Amino acid sequence: MSQLHHLSRQDIKALTEARLTFGPRGRAMDTSTSLQFSLDHARAREAVLSELDVPRIQKALKAAGLDSQTVTSAAGTRDIFIRRPDLGRLLPEATAETLHNESPLDVALLLADGLSAIAAALNGPAFVTALSKRLLARGLTIGKIVCARQARVAIGDRVAQALGAETVVVALGERPGLSAADSLGVYITHRPKATTQDSARNCISNIREAGTNVVDAAEQAEQLIVAMRETGLSGVELSMARAENTLTSQSD
Amino acid sequence: MLAGLAADGPIERLAAQHCLADVPLRAFLDDILEVEGDAVTELIAEQHDRDAFAPIASLTVGAFRDWLLDPSTDGRALAELAWGVTPEMVAAVSKIMRSQDLITVSAKIEVVTRFRSTIGLSGHLSTRNQPNHPTDDSRGIALSALDGLLMGAGDAVIGVNPATDSLSDYIRICEVLEAIRTQLNIPTQHCCLGHVSTALAAMERAAPVDLVFQSVAGSEKANNGFGVSLSLLDEAHDAVKALGRAPQGANLMYFETGQGAALSSDAHHGMDQQTMEARAYAVARRYRPLLVNTVVGFIGPEYLADGKQIIRAGLEDHFCGKLMGLPMGVDVCYTNHSYADQEDMDILLTVLASAGVNFVITVPGADDIMLNYQSLSYHDAQYIRDTLGRPPAPEFMSWMEANGIGTPGVTLPTLDNALANLQIPLA
């Protein structure tokens, strides 16, 4: 049971990010609160509508010694992408043909805009670089990084098929909240197919400066990939298998 | 459009409306039998009351619209019709009605439900106080709930969407809300909006469960996607009734609809979004719920692209629910990837209040920090109460007056001394 003393506004803000009212009640939101809300929404909208800065990302990847190539989903433009998420999951056939690899890959890595190209640009290259180093150190083949425009998670399944990759990692911008537009989400799928369900993916979310940091996220992703290659499973099935393993090792 | 049923332009849409207006209502009674092996379809057929249907049995969809709008069709006639209409009829007529038609008819229908407060009385507007927190922190939940109570929000329910579906968190959230309700002696009810199976497990462990919540959809397959069936809902309804926490005859369930689950899980059987939504209401009304709301703007721009579409859908959902006899509320809301903003929510709130919506959802500063979308603020509820003269439930209003809420002499704890005053379980 709680026995807490008087809380300062700072104490309260440490407990919750909720937009509580500290001033007078019984009237409309005051001007500064109202304008701040509109500004936060405008920032979120800007992040949603932003385009992936491919040259900047490719330059950052190149500096880390990583080659990259770019694809655009069947959605084509930002507006179509937002209204037609189904098209954002598809890779045009002509694009798929350009992706063919000489030999199959262990892991395909995608960096996509998703619902915040700003998040992809801010946190994407660092995550992809950190994960690539870990995978290469394990002797896994990853091929070129694929930058994907107007893309949802499932486009990774098509890219992986075109590249003959056994596992696919899609890092993309999450839907911006009112307080944060820089969150990167990572989805990992083993042996993806066109019919893969979301329940077959493992996810690491809220990757940003004030959330899960890039280094931790890359480590978690590496562990997931290793576990997938060992068990041949991903998503809910993998989580269940891992939970069982944990229980087994605890009882040992 | 996602269902592949969209018109190919304004003229084609109007041609479709003309055709629809000429369809006899009787045709929908044959139509509902087209989906084989679907429990919701069977439920709809089973619910249909031929005597209640009699006054409109000879009408077409277009004539039905005229009948609804006729001033001699009063609230009583519409209440008596509730079990005579099927979801398909209701969705069909909504498609040939303008916004003002939807408002006119909805405003005639009074659907009153009761637990510790009386919700839905004509001329009143209730609110759900939604103190969500991203980690389900007890103190965070309590602070947000109190923030709303200090502005008179929460007479419909104080309801938390949990961040996890763990049983221990579900029980703790119920205990936090129960502590707030009993210590401040609030004539309202609370709800943790976890999965119905979690609610059942919590009730087995004697958790203080006022209302059982579940998201429902308009086909068996879509409900399977939510992990629910009619028999599971029946079981939960029996269990919450057996707790005996509410006065005899009270309404004990809370449902949400409007997620577009049927289409996104490809469980719509070729039917359009609005028909699937109204079919979810058939599921809801089986349980005489205290509260039902559509989460209309949460669905995303692939269904409702902009403010105008969200406003229209909010009015349609409210109308369809009311006509089927449900205590209909609306989550007036939008996500950040929709072409909508708070201006659109102001308009939707205002038109829904005119239409007599039973309740709306309110959160601190209109920002839901757990679900990452924008709903109404506690201030927005105050705006509509003051502007249109829509007080909350009578019991709750008396409680507000007794506690000086809205006056300098307020006797509730303030945010800075709340956690010293309230005894809540922390973990």
- Three-state secondary structure string covering B247-294: CCCCCCEEEEECCCHHHHCCCCCCCCHHHHHHHHHHHHHCCCCCEEEE
| CA distance to partner chain A, nearest, from residue B100 (Å) | 28
- pLDDT of B7 reads 74
Of B133, B175, B176, nearest to A15 by C-alpha is B133
Domain assignment present for residue A82? The answer is yes
- Do residues A116 and A48 make contact, with C-beta atoms less than 8 angstroms apart? yes
**In this complex, is the C-beta atom of A41 within 8 Å of any C-beta atom belonging to chain B?**
yes
pLDDT tens per residue, range A94-113: 999 999 777 899 999 999 99
For B301-344, give the secondary structure using H, E and C: CCCCCEHHHHHHHHHHHHHHHHHCCCCEEECCCECCCCECCHHH
Residue B60 has what DSSP assignment?
Answer: B
- Residue ranges of the domains in chain B? 10-107, 113-419
Neighbours of B231 (CB within 10 A): 9
Chain A hits for B260, Cβ within 8 Å:
none
* Predicted confidence band of residue B210 (pLDDT cuts 50, 70, 90): very high
Percent of chain B that is helix, strand, coil (3-state, to 5)? 50, 10, 40
Residue A68 has what DSSP assignment?
Answer: E
**CB B372 to CB A177 under 8 A?**
yes
C-alpha dihedral sign at A154, A159, A164, A169 = negative
- pLDDT of B31 reads 65
For residue B1, what is the nearest residue in chain A, using CA coordinates? A84
End-to-end CA distance of chain A: 36
Total domains in the fold of chain A: 1
Domain assignment present for residue A13? The answer is no
- pLDDT of A3 reads 47
| CA distance to partner chain B, nearest, from residue A115 (Å) | 7
Chain B hits for A28, Cβ within 8 Å:
379, 383
Segment B59-63 long-range contacts (CB within 8 Å, at least 24 positions apart): B59/B24, B59/B25, B60/B21, B60/B22, B60/B23, B60/B24, B60/B25, B61/B20, B61/B21, B61/B22, B61/B23, B61/B24, B61/B25, B61/B89, B61/B92, B61/B93, B61/B96, B62/B20, B62/B21, B62/B22, B62/B96
**CB B364 to CB A7 under 8 A?**
no
Domain assignment present for residue A11? The answer is no
Domain assignment present for residue A19? The answer is no
Query: Alpha-carbon distance B379 to B349, whole Å?
Result: 12
Q: Say which residue, B278 or B299, is predicted with more confidence.
A: B278
pLDDT tens per residue, range B372-417: 899 999 999 999 999 999 999 999 999 999 999 989 899 999 999 9
**In this complex, is the C-beta atom of A37 within 8 Å of any C-beta atom belonging to chain B?**
yes
- DSSP secondary structure string for all residues of B151-192: TT--SSEEEE--SS--HHHHHHHHHHHHHHHHHTT-S--EEE
pLDDT tens per residue, range B13-44: 899 999 999 999 999 997 665 667 899 999 99
A145 has which bridge partners? A68
Chain A hits for B378, Cβ within 8 Å:
21
pLDDT tens per residue, range B125-143: 999 999 999 889 999 999 9
Interval A34-46 mean pLDDT: 95
A179: helix, coil or strand?
A: coil
| CA distance to partner chain A, nearest, from residue B170 (Å) | 17
Fold for the domain defined by B113-419: TIM Barrel (3.20.20)
- Do residues A54 and A147 make contact, with C-beta atoms less than 8 angstroms apart? yes
Query: Alpha-carbon distance A204 to A98, whole Å?
Result: 30
| CA distance to partner chain B, nearest, from residue A66 (Å) | 32
Residue A23 has what DSSP assignment?
Answer: S
By DSSP bridging, strand B359-363 and strand B376-377 are parallel
- pLDDT of A235 reads 86
Domain assignment present for residue A95? The answer is yes
Residue A162 has what DSSP assignment?
Answer: H
- ipTM attached to this prediction: 0.94
Q: Say which residue, A58 or A180, is predicted with more confidence.
A: A58
Q: Please work out, in degrees rounded to the nearest 5, the angle formed at the alpha carbon of residue A115 by the alpha carbons of A112 and A119.
A: 65
Neighbours of A34 (CB within 10 A): 15
Domain assignment present for residue A219? The answer is yes
Interval B208-217 mean pLDDT: 97
**Residue A75's CATH number:** 3.40.50.11240
pLDDT at B1 over 60: no
**In this complex, is the C-beta atom of A23 within 8 Å of any C-beta atom belonging to chain B?**
no
CA-to-CA separations, B419 to B135, B141, B155, in angstroms, rounded: 18, 11, 22
**Structural domain harbouring A188:** 54-246
Of A146, A238, A242, A158, nearest to A196 by C-alpha is A158
Give the mutation candidate from A13, A19, A27, A87 for the B interface (greatest B CB count, under 10 A). A19
pLDDT at B50 over 50: yes
By DSSP bridging, strand B376-377 and strand B253-257 are unpaired
Fold for the domain defined by B10-107: Annexin V; domain 1 (1.10.220)
| CA distance to partner chain B, nearest, from residue A91 (Å) | 19
- Do residues B110 and B80 make contact, with C-beta atoms less than 8 angstroms apart? no
Residue of A6, A20, A86 with shortest CB distance to B364: A20
Q: Dihedral (C-alpha) B161, B166, B168, B171: value to the nearest 10 degrees? A: 30
For chain A, positions 63-92, list CB contacts with chain B under 8 A.
82-86
Domain assignment present for residue A5? The answer is no
Domain assignment present for residue A108? The answer is yes
Of B51-55, B276-280, B341-345, B369-373, the range with the lowest mean pLDDT is: B369-373
Chains A and B: how many Cβ contacts under 8 Å? 129
- pLDDT of A247 reads 53
Query: Alpha-carbon distance B342 to B334, whole Å?
Result: 9
